Structure 1
């Protein structure tokens, strides 16, 4: 599965969006726990970190598709008038290595600029090494934490100007 993806905004409550967010949480929770995440654990994670802030005018949720199938997602939300946060960047396992992560990241940066942001920040966990490599390849630099939390091991940012 290589080539260009189609990346478009989606309501967070659209069935395709809710399905890919469940897949995302199953993946990251499973990696965190070192075993497959249970449906109950995914439900708790969805309740603890809802995506209801990824809606206009201060946010957006993007779905990536390749070959007509949903293959990834990413969210962007404004933290303040000039700073956006990247969140929920996910590539389905079958689509990894296809360049979709870069395409989703670039689409998220465009969306952040359209929201008026000058800076994009993000946080990630230590074990998500592929994500950290992706961000570094795209010019994100590690910074002091802008937030705290159980899953915040590294914070990055990039000027969008």
Structure 2
């Protein structure tokens, strides 16, 4: 098994300094996913960054291996007390190094600190590696949530409350 790079750093995006970098990583995610609806959503998001990902209701984390940006993940407010994990992406050359786990753990911690009580996400039914990652991170199927399109599954994780809900 490959090891996480020793110089891996996961940090919160700074606005406006990291705007172009976040947009590039989001575009890499959409190109990798091949999802046409994600392309349309990205165009709206890109023109408004940080938009719904801005504090206090959202957050974008960027992973760097040395000086290279290698991954991204974000959450945004879905409704009072509940945020949505989205845009989790690690560049292909850096997969298998537990970078996605670091990004998810960072988002969970940050969302709990922001006062969210739960985090939800949608993932493809056939994306077994991603679903395994989310299961290891404490996400379970959410029968209450209806997926936005066929072939997706809604997952949910309760968060430890550290302050009033966002």
Range class of TM-score, shorter chain: 0.7 to 0.9
1:32-62 deviation digits (Å, cap 9, x = unpaired): 58xxxxxxx8753412565621111111111
Unaligned stretches of 5+ residues in structure 1:
34-40
Spell out the pairing of 1:3-152 with structure 2 (5 A cutoff): 3=5, 5-10=8-13, 11=15, 14-29=19-34, 44-47=40-43, 52-144=51-143, 146-150=145-149
Please state how far the C-alpha of 1:157 moved relative to its aligned partner.
Answer: 0.8
Whether the aligned pair in 2 keeps the contact of 1:81 and 1:116 (CA below 8 Å) is no
Please state how far the C-alpha of 1:17 moved relative to its aligned partner.
Answer: 0.7
Unaligned stretches of 5+ residues in structure 2:
161-166
Sort the Cα spacing of 1:117 and 1:67 in 2 relative to 1 into closer, same or farther, 3 A.
Answer: same
Sort the Cα spacing of 1:150 and 1:42 in 2 relative to 1 into closer, same or farther, 3 A.
Answer: closer
| Higher mean C-alpha displacement, 54-63 vs 42-51 | 42-51
CA distance in 2, matches of 1:43, 1:160: 30
Sort the Cα spacing of 1:160 and 1:43 in 2 relative to 1 into closer, same or farther, 3 A.
Answer: closer
CA distance in 1, matches of 2:84, 2:24: 22
Give 4+ residue runs of structure 1 displaced > 4 Å after superposition.
Answer: 48-51
Please state how far the C-alpha of 1:139 moved relative to its aligned partner.
Answer: 1.5
Whether the aligned pair in 1 keeps the contact of 2:74 and 2:85 (CA below 8 Å) is yes
* TM-score where L is the length of structure 2: 0.80
Whether the aligned pair in 2 keeps the contact of 1:123 and 1:152 (CA below 8 Å) is no
